[in-house]
Amino acid sequence: MSVRAGIVVTGTEVLTGRIQDLNGPWLADRLLELGVELAHITICGDRADDVEAQLRFLAAEGVDLIITTGGLGPTADDLTVATVARFCGVELVLDTELEARIAAILRTLMSRRPVADEDFDAVLAANRKQALVPAGAEILEPEGTAPGVVVDGPADGTPVVIVLPGPPRELQPMWSRAIATAAAQRAIAGRTEYRQATVRMFGLAESGLADALRDAQTRIAGFDALEITTCLRRGELEIVTRYEPEDDDTYRALVDFLAERYPQELFSADGSLIDEQIATLLTGRTIATAESCTAGMLAARLADRAGSSAYLAGGVVSYSNEAKVEMLGVDATLIATHGAVSEPVAIAMARGALQRFEADTAVGITGIAGPGGGSAEKPVGTVCFSVALAGREPLVRTLRLPGNRSDVRERATTVAMHLLRRELLACSATA
């Protein structure tokens, strides 16, 4: 690939791990979509010398484009713009029009609370440095108060530098404008156009997928033209394939091969998430949750999508046995006989949620997330699930989920989503 890029993530809070880097992975995906090879992602603290060292390192690696994130605020440790200007050999200049736009943004923000004129003047003075931009740079309108800039490198081969803010809510909407600038387009002009597609599977081990892909390599003509990466995410296998448009038939052959080999495990051939599929399948229905070991994580996941109020009636976190009895109507003798972590209790929890919320769909989850509480009969990781649809016998499963406490709880929500999908599809098929 002839076009390469590097990303410099700035921020001592990111370097020390207090804040997770969300920008690097997000930008990596955007570059991949463009057909630009990502050479490096570096993270450094809020020190001008360290930021410049990363810029020089990437330039020495021969990248055509550098993207920086963070360090655009008004405080003393926000040094990225000045450092990039020095790296590119240009002066910082005050853009008075930009300063006026920043002032208007600040006045709007501060109008929401009483503030004295002198207080506003102090805030404006503190934010004036955000209107200092490298001479000749293309300015990207701010999403908050910090503008981004695109600096074209001099003729000596210095890469084009895109300077973006740190907060993802500001960086992400600014990206499309940044990459559309004339300088950025010149930097990536030699890229190879690619398509990228995603297939998702559940219930298949990574080793099984690896075997399948080796088999596909011998069966599908032109297989080597596909660049395939796999990732285990939330208990699901995500298979991302990048290919040139002329290899579309080869990619289709791969999807058909996987669908034929794993008709139950392949649940998404178009990249859609299980959450999106569940939202569609719940159209016209109402769902309630009854959760013990996941303590509301399934309800939270169902509520993550905009518009979830159309189908999510509510949920009960019944962690104690008393809560299961009092809030969901689970028979105490059922718990005494079978234990709180059992299929009969999971069924009773789901049925109790149906009744309590007058819903037509419910999920019950009860399990042992650990690290303590397990036994030889019910070791840590044992989770019982039930999906109850009005008018149907409830679906019930017991699984032993791997990992630590956090892993077990997160995987349990994924299993519950897939059991729910299976039952909703079965109901639709018989309707």
| CB burial of residue 315 (10 Å; 0-12, 13-18, 19+) | buried
| Domain at 4-188, CATH class | alpha beta
Exposure class string for 70-85: b at 16+ Cβ within 10 A, else e: bbbbbeeebbbbbbbb
Radius of gyration of the chain (CA): 27
Q: Are strands 287-291 and 312-317 parallel, antiparallel or unpaired?
A: parallel
Q: CB of 20 within 8 A of CB of 51?
A: no
pLDDT at 95: 86
Longest dimension (CA), the chain: 81
What residues does CATH 3.40.980.10 cover in the chain? 4-188
Q: CB of 180 within 8 A of CB of 164?
A: no
Q: Tokens 């009960």 label which residue? A: 316
Residues 6+ apart with CB under 8 A from 35: 1, 3, 191, 192, 193, 194
In angstroms, rounded to a whole number, what is the distance separating the alpha carbons of residues 168 and 356? 40
What residues does CATH 3.30.70.2860 cover in the chain? 195-271
Q: What is the dihedral of CA 182, 184, 187, 188, to 10 degrees?
A: -110
Count of alpha carbons within 13 angstroms of residue 146, beta-carbon side: 21
In angstroms, rounded to a whole number, what is the distance separating the alpha carbons of residues 210 and 338? 40
Span between the terminal Cα atoms of the chain, in Å: 52
pLDDT at 108: 75
pTM: predicted TM-score of the whole model, two decimal places: 0.80
- What does the pLDDT profile of the chain (431 residues) look like in tens digits? 579 999 999 999 999 999 999 999 999 989 988 889 999 999 999 999 999 999 999 999 999 999 999 998 777 778 999 999 999 999 999 888 888 887 887 777 776 666 555 565 656 665 678 888 999 999 999 888 789 999 997 767 789 999 999 999 999 999 999 999 999 999 999 888 888 899 999 999 999 999 999 999 999 999 999 999 999 988 899 999 989 999 999 999 999 999 999 999 999 999 999 999 999 999 999 999 999 999 999 999 999 999 999 999 999 999 999 999 999 999 999 999 999 999 999 999 999 999 999 999 999 999 999 999 999 999 999 999 999 999 999 999 999 999 999 999 999 999 999 999 999 999 988 76
Nearest to 289 by CA among 418, 420, 411: 420
Nearest to 255 by CA among 285, 216, 312, 286: 216
pLDDT at 2: 73
Nearest to 288 by CA among 277, 275, 302: 302
Count of alpha carbons within 13 angstroms of residue 243, beta-carbon side: 20
Structural fold of domain 195-271: Alpha-Beta Plaits (3.30.70)
pLDDT at 262: 97
Domain 275-429 has CATH 3.40.50.2300: no
